[in-house]
Amino acid sequence: MIANDAPGVLAIEARNLRLAYGPRLALDELSLDVPAGGVFGLLGPNGSGKSTFITMVAAMQGPREGSLRVLGQAPCAALRARVGTVFQETALDPAMTAGETLGLAGRLFGLSKSAASARAASLLGEFGLGDRANDAVAKLSGGMRRRLEVARALLHEPRLILLDEPTTGVDPEERRALWQGLRERRGQDCTIVIATNDLAEAETVCDEVAFLRHGRVVVTGTPAQLKRGLGREAVRVRWATAPDAANAAAYGWEGCGTVTRDGDEVLFTVENAASFVPRLFAMAPGPIRALSIEPSSLEDAYFQHVGGRARDEGRT
């Protein structure tokens, strides 16, 4: 067994993973190293392979090709005892109470009845569900169900926590409560992997991220590293028409880093927006509907590496 916090130790080591569902390639030579002990984000559009990768790491299905080691071992049933998973879609029995849900998980993951009960009570309290222990899952709100699923994933104190879009449909208050519970695990001999489409959330909580596209890893790095290649500021412009020539011209200007187009919106990453914007207005061939200036974000890096939805057209 390895210690998660040992320097250089990998929680996940994936090499050339390949898996297809019928004619659709879900993972295409995916290779990725996830260091132990931090929060790692998997970012990518729907269908990019995030959930498939999560189920593989959770030892619930194997790759057709390639190799995978999780917490130092090949995926197997025994590995699942060291992993806690929150799935993209709800995986709860609506007729069971919150307390019973955790009790069942505790027993399946090898805790004694008393240990499971004590730990369940502690986690329900930690995730703000202490007074709902005897309520049926069907009576809980969407956010509460999500918190219950996270609590369930933590019940057996896993060394690796896999969260597949854990905050989808969760309001900001619920989201804060959920992440508060998770953040406390950070660095406690525990690695957290989160698959999400919420780039702002990923930027806030992840130590390192990987951008996935079409079942492959496009780029990995810390949010700071990924933003480093961009300009310091992001200028979003919505053109009334689609002046490709103007975009191309601006790309050549000094201080302009990248130009990414997503529909009628164009994102310029620039060194200095104060000098860039007047110049853009001066040469604009048509009206500009909207313009905003923001610091460069992980979202900007995402669009640079992964591209907009338009580039996904034609994919399943």
Interface stretch with another protein, choices 85-93, 165-173, 199-207, 228-236 (CB under 8 A): 85-93
Our finding on whether 58 is near another protein (CB under 8 A) is: yes
The SS3 of residue 50 is helix
Question: Among 7, 8, 21, 274, which residue interacts with another protein (rule: CB under 8 A)?
Answer: 21
Binding another protein (rule: CB under 8 A), the pick from 107, 176, 238, 315 is 107
Site for another protein in 202-261 (CB under 8 A): none
User: Shortest Cβ distance from residue 92 to another protein (Å)?
Assistant: 7
Q: How many CB atoms lie within 10 A of CB 246?
A: 19
Q: How far is the CB of 26 from another protein (least distance, A)?
A: 9
Closest CB to another protein among 22 and 172?
22
Q: Is 170 left (phi over 0), alpha (psi -120 to 50) or beta?
A: beta
Stretch that binds another protein, among 104-112, 182-190, 213-221, 256-264 (CB under 8 A): 104-112
Task: Give the Å distances, CA to CA, from 260 to 8, 147, 232, 267, 269.
Answer: 35, 36, 15, 5, 9
HSE, CB side, 13 Å, CA atoms: give it for residue 202. Answer: 31
**Cβ proximity of 141 and 168 under 8 Å:** no
Q: Does 310 bind another protein (CB under 8 A)?
A: no
Residue span 130-159 as binding mask against another protein, x where in contact by CB under 8 A, dash where not? ----------------------x-------
User: Are 163 and 86 in contact, with CB atoms under 8 Å apart?
Assistant: yes
Q: Does 87 bind another protein (CB under 8 A)?
A: yes
Binding another protein (rule: CB under 8 A), the pick from 60, 219, 284, 293 is: 60
State the Cα–Cα distance between residues 57 and 79, nearest whole angstrom.
9
Pick from 284, 276, 238: nearest CA to 257: 276
| Sites of contact with another protein (CB under 8 A) | 21, 58, 60, 77-81, 83, 85, 87, 89-96, 104-105, 107-110, 152
